[in-house]
């Protein structure tokens, strides 16, 4: 019996070793600027990212496409490194947090985001990214850094051509006519808001909120002065102006009920609320100017109290779309020019490659 058990253990160990050896097999060697291997394990990791996003297993042919993409990405990165292009980690961190802040609709730090996720979803940022893209924070930032370096290289190589990419007047006006119904203002209201987080001492926060309200009402401090002082480290509060539409989304964006927003719409300009309490802070709202809903002509400004017209807004967005398309095309052109036998050695092909890529396709 012991011999049988030992045989079974040895069988499982050999199977595990076979899988490990398979994962370490080299599929492609990139050697434009240095020798760099792409293994089955690395390809699996990238495929897992795409599978998380697509919600399905990739076929063998799709995995071959991912391998080709990974090869081209490494070629461009090596070319960028040879050209001396680098991206500081601080820029990667900023880019990462901008993306995450856009997702949740508020500007937050990485620490604040972790705390928010723990409170609302009982998970860490690492766990969220693993769930969404199959990477933890460190891995995802490394991926972002490579993407930013590759993008910078492509922009450097095609800068002159990129500057010539611009929408025509006809394209801008055609876009406006086709989407005219979407260029509207909702009823909007301008606020000046002061927010004092409770932190560990709610009584102290309430005292500060009352003090700030009194100084504003008694004209000892202006809105601008309160805003400037809020930016000083350790001020203990935030302050600033914002423009909100009369919608549920507008109310939600500042943690206010829709009925509360409607009440403020009914107040005169200059009205100052009492100190209001939420679960996390104390706040004061000063009612500013209101704007009635309207359809926007192509020469109207996109948002009250700004200078950007609908025409300029459309031109900017169409230009970005055209530039993104051009960058994609340019990236493929550069990758094709680098993807040569002297720079890329395919270690596996044909049936041997298919066999290695056929992991759990069903």
* pLDDT single digits (tens) 295-316: 999 999 998 888 999 999 999 9
Task: Answer yes or no: is pLDDT of 17 > 50.
Answer: no
Terminal-residue alpha carbon distance, the chain: 37
Q: pLDDT grade, residue 130 (50/70/90)?
A: confident
Are 64 and 356 in contact by the 8 Å Cβ rule? The answer is no
> What pLDDT is stored for residue 101 in this prediction?
79
Please check the confidence at residue 19 and state whether its pLDDT lies above 70. Answer: no
Q: For the segment 262-288, what is each residue's pLDDT rounded down to a tens digit?
A: 999 999 999 999 999 988 899 999 999
Residue bearing tokens 């005292």: 207
- Pairwise CA distance, residues 48 & 44, whole Å: 6
Residue 186 predicted with pLDDT over 80: yes
Higher pLDDT, 106 or 51: 51
Taking the C-alpha atoms of residue 292 and residue 188, their distance in angstroms, rounded to an integer, is 7
Query: What is the structure's pLDDT at 141?
Result: 93
3-state secondary structure the chain: CHHHHHHHHHHHHHHHHHHHHHHHCEEEEECCCCCEEEEHHHHHHHHHHHHHHHCCCCCHHHHHHHHHHHHHHHHHHHHHHHCCCCCCHHHHHHHHHHHHHHHHCCCCCHHHHHHHHHHHHCCCHHHHHHHHHCCCHHHHHHHHHHHHHHHHHHHHHCHHHHHCCCCCHHHHHHHHHHCHHHCEECCEEEEEEEEEECCCCHHHHHHHHHHHHHHHHCCCCCHHHHHHHHCCCCCCCEEEEEEEECCHHHHHHCCCCHHHHHHHHCCCCCCECCCEECCCEEEEEEEEEEECCEECCCCCECCCCCCCEHHHHHHHHHHHHHHHHHHHHHHHHHHHHHCCCCCEEECCCHHHHHHHCCCCCC
The mean pLDDT value for 115-122 works out to 83
Q: Is the dihedral of CA 165, 155, 302, 103 positive or negative?
A: positive
Q: Which of 14, 141, 40, 58 is nearest to 347 (CA)?
A: 40
pLDDT reported for residue 121: 84
- Can you tell me the mean pLDDT for 235-252? 89
User: Looking at residue 21, what is its pLDDT?
Assistant: 58
pTM higher than 0.75 for the full model?
no
Between CA 48 and CA 327 the distance in angstroms is: 26
- Looking at residue 316, what is its pLDDT? 92
**Is the predicted pLDDT of residue 8 greater than 60, yes or no?**
no
Chain mean pLDDT for the chain: 88
| Measured distance CA(126)–CA(138) in Å, rounded | 9
pLDDT band, very low/low/confident/very high, at 160 (cuts 50, 70, 90):
confident
- The first and second tokens of residue 1, run together, are 């019996």
Selection from 130, 33, 121 nearest residue 77 by Cα: 33
């Amino acid at each position: 019996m012991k011999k049988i058990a030992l045989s079974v253990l040895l069988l499982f160990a050999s199977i595990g070793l076979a899988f490990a050896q398979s994962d370490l097999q080299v599929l492609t060697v990139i050697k434009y600027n240095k020798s760099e291997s792409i293994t089955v394990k690395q390809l699996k990791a990238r495929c897992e990212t795409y599978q998380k996003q697509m919600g399905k297993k990739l076929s063998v042919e799709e995995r071959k496409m991912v391998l080709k993409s990974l090869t081209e990405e490494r070629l461009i990165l090596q070319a960028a490194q040879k050209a001396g292009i680098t991206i500081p980690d601080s820029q990667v961190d900023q880019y990462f947090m901008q993306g995450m802040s856009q997702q949740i609709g508020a500007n937050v730090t990485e620490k604040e985001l972790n705390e928010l996720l723990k409170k609302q979803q009982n998970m860490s940022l690492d766990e969220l990214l693993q769930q969404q893209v199959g990477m933890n924070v460190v891995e995802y930032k490394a991926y972002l850094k490579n993407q930013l370096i590759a993008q910078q290289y492509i922009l450097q190589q095609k800068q002159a051509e990129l500057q010539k990419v611009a929408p025509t007047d006809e394209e801008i006006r055609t876009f406006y006519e086709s989407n005219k119904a979407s260029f509207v203002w909702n009823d909007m209201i301008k606020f000046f808001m002061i927010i004092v987080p409770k932190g560990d001492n709610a009584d102290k926060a309430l005292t500060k909120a009352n003090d700030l309200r009194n100084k504003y009402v008694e004209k000892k401090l202006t809105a601008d002065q309160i805003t400037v002082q809020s930016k000083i480290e350790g001020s203990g509060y935030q302050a600033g102006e914002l423009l909100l539409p009369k919608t549920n989304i507008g109310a939600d964006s500042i943690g206010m009920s829709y009925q509360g927003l409607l009440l403020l719409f009914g107040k005169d300009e200059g009205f100052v609320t009492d100190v209001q309490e939420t679960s996390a802070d104390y706040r004061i709202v000063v009612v500013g100017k209101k704007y009635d809903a309207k359809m926007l002509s192509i020469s109207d400004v996109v948002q009250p109290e700004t200078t950007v017209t609908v025409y300029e807004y459309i031109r900017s967005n169409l230009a970005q779309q055209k530039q993104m398309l051009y960058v994609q095309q340019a990236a493929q052109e550069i990758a094709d020019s680098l993807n040569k036998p002297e720079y890329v050695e395919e270690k596996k092909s044909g049936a041997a490659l298919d066999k290695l890529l056929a992991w759990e396709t069903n």
